[in-house]
Structure 1
Amino acid sequence: MSVRILPDRRSFLWLNGFAGISVGFVNMKTILVLIVIYLLYCEGAVKLRQDDQLNNRPIIGVLSQEQSLFLREKYPEENYTSYIATSYVKDVEASGARVVPILIGKDRDYYEELMKKINGVLFPGGATYFNNSDGYADAGQHIYEIAQQMNDRGDYFPIFGTCLGFELLIILASGRSEVENRNRCYSYQNLPLRFTTDYRDSKMFSAAPLDILVILATLDVTVNSHQFCIVDDNLKSHGLDDDWLVTSHSDDQDGLEFIASIEHKRYPIYGVQFHPEKSFEWKLSKNYPHSAESIKANRYFMDFFVSECRKSGHSFNNAAEENEYLIYNYIPHFTGLLGSAYHQCYMLEPKGVRN
């Protein structure tokens, strides 16, 4: 069940966990008590962060995907086989982390070794098939399975999937087959979120600031650009509703309700159907929101994910090895000038040859 949050005072109090306090009974004594609770909470939170020894130099792997036919035609002489839109890299960097590109078409050992050195993985959105041999989905399956094994051993390793990446997470959890566990769903709109009644039980939203929640619930700030989606029945049909917590919905252009945000109940694995990184895309025809409110709200998701990645203590053996893997070894191309929906892209070649 989803509910619409309204930006009135009663909703504000309810969202902060004070649903039982009537607006008419918020007197000075109550306010002082709440201030004390807040200060005690903040003091405890600061101590917890100090004790936890968080990683303040997180590095996140961003999975590449097959080169699109459009871009392949624009670079006919180069042997580019995969790419990463720079908006994902900028999104990660704006939240205080660095990026390592993860190549497709590798054996499992490549992903196992790389994941020992990085602190989390982002499955980006895009447009590719899940049945390509040695492609995005095969690499994603290796990463998904390895991450589960790591977390089962107590080695904290988060994954975040956006749009296509979110759909891949659910398909992997369902078990890949010829009939993919997702629905046709057309949405090319900026939409608000309709939060579920228990969304505050999630890790993603349990500590989300009230102003962020109000923006997400009342304004058209989440960018949707997809032909497929995951609906509640996709979870129920494959017995996934016991393992995954749905936290919000939105509606497509035909009124179909789809899952907008989700997280795994056991593992630090998260997904959103929309595109928070589109704050860094500028194609006028796409009408991406760039208001101060939309940027503030969309920043929350990568800030949250990077905070999760800070809980991982993985690192490279030394600075020289770290530098060898970082995205800085690649040159971003101004693909927007060529007509691409992406303003810039990193083009990746076979076996990681630097361009």
Structure 2
Amino acid sequence: MKHTVLVLVYILHYVVSNEVINDRPIIGVLAQEQSYYLHTKYPEENYTSYIAASYVRDVEKSGARVVPIMIGKERSYYEALMSKINGVLFPGGATYFNQSNGYADAGEHILSIAKELNDAGDYFPIFGTCLGFQLIMILESGRGEVENRGTCWSFRNLPLHFTEDFRSSKMFSESSADVVDILAHDDVTVNAHQFCIFDENLKAYNLDEVWQPTSYSIDDFGLSFIATIENKRYPFYGVIFHPEKSSFEWKRSKQYPHSINAVVANRYFMDFFVKECRKSGHTFANEAEENQHVIYNHEPKFTGVLGSQHHECYFFEPNYTK
């Protein structure tokens, strides 16, 4: 018996010590359709999609690099790219989910492929911010003609009301008491959305069986909406607010919280996601292939000076094929 126990201890130590820890994570950030406002500022350039640079900076600050993921591609494009990167961020924004070959179609391919990878034992995380969180929930509902989300009005900085079991989640199991205290008592989460995911949206499609809300916030009219959530089976996570804005968006009229507490608390979410992505062992074939795909091939434009809510943006043309 003693020998058996020693063998089991050795095996357990071997498995834990050989868990994949990727110290060079690369995360894909999904582009979305060019905004109507920014199209008026660049009418001649024929930009068809963009990524707000704040999402790129947020990922980089947590110790990862970024590859832009284009919309309007065949499934094979997403399969090939996801075999080389370590996770995907669905950013927030303002686009419709019923446009053909756009943000939602790309997201549908990505979420489906991520499930296949995880089912095969290939750890692959997904994180959705605001619109990205809503997209995940709508895709999980079957993406019918009626979108499974509700209307709300939330354009303020808010605290989080944590559920009783939030510590049982992966997202918050290791969060410090200081971070939780700030999130629970200070107005530090940036809300900018007219749609929400409510408990009723989960129950209507039995999503409450596989998705665990971990906190709620209250909109301007007193409605309680889901603020943070995670999947019980897959490493998929969502937040309805914008953690990236405290550090990287500076439009004065938006009054984003830039206090040290706001920066520290919001930093937690991308740090957590990048830590999840470090569990993926995917790599590009070589450094040259990495260099062909990373965001450094593109230069952001200073869109804040043009009145945009985004300080900087990366823009992409229709013939981008990398």
TM-score interval, smaller chain: over 0.9
Give the share of equivalent positions with the same residue, in percent: 67
Give the drift of 1:178. 1.0
Equivalent residues in 2 for 1:45-194, closer than 5 Å: 50-194=17-161
What TM-score results when the alignment is normalised by the length of structure 2? 0.94
Within the candidate set 252, 259, 274, 1:306 is matched to 274
Give the drift of 1:48. 8.7
| Counterpart amino acid of residue 326 in structure 1 | V
| Counterpart amino acid of residue 260 in structure 1 | A
Within the candidate set 299, 302, 321, 1:334 is matched to 302
Aligned residue pairs total 309
Give the structure 2 partner of residue 315 of structure 1: 283
1:227 has 2:194 as partner: yes
- The structure with the larger Rg is 1
What TM-score results when the alignment is normalised by the length of structure 1? 0.85
1:244 has 2:211 as partner: yes
Give the drift of 1:248. 0.2
Give the drift of 1:261. 0.2
| Counterpart amino acid of residue 264 in structure 2 | K
RMSD: 1.4
1:202 has 2:169 as partner: yes
The answer for unaligned runs of 5 or more in structure 1 is 1-45
Distance 1:353 1:72, change over 3 A: farther
1:216 has 2:191 as partner: no
Partner SS, residue 332 of structure 1: coil
Query: CA separation in 1, counterparts of 2:14 and 2:63?
Result: 21
Within the candidate set 306, 311, 314, 1:343 is matched to 311
| Counterpart amino acid of residue 333 in structure 1 | K
| Counterpart amino acid of residue 334 in structure 1 | F
Give the drift of 1:47. 10
Give the drift of 1:349. 1.0
| Counterpart amino acid of residue 294 in structure 1 | A
Query: CA separation in 2, counterparts of 1:328 and 1:47?
Result: 38
CA offsets, 1:292-330, max 9 Å, x none? 000000000000000000000000001000000000000
The answer for unaligned runs of 5 or more in structure 2 is 1-12
Give the drift of 1:351. 3.1
Give the drift of 1:49. 7.4
| Counterpart amino acid of residue 306 in structure 2 | L
Partner SS, residue 350 of structure 1: coil
Partner SS, residue 333 of structure 1: coil
Give the drift of 1:352. 1.6
Partner SS, residue 207 of structure 2: coil
Give the drift of 1:73. 1.1
Within the candidate set 278, 288, 292, 2:245 is matched to 278
CA offsets, 1:136-181, max 9 Å, x none? 0000000000000000000000000000000000000000011100
- Alignment check: 8 A CA contact 2:20 2:281 kept: no
Query: CA separation in 2, counterparts of 1:200 and 1:121?
Result: 24
Query: CA separation in 2, counterparts of 1:79 and 1:287?
Result: 32
Query: CA separation in 1, counterparts of 2:14 and 2:179?
Result: 25
| Counterpart amino acid of residue 170 in structure 1 | M
Give the drift of 1:191. 0.3
Query: CA separation in 1, counterparts of 2:298 and 2:269?
Result: 26
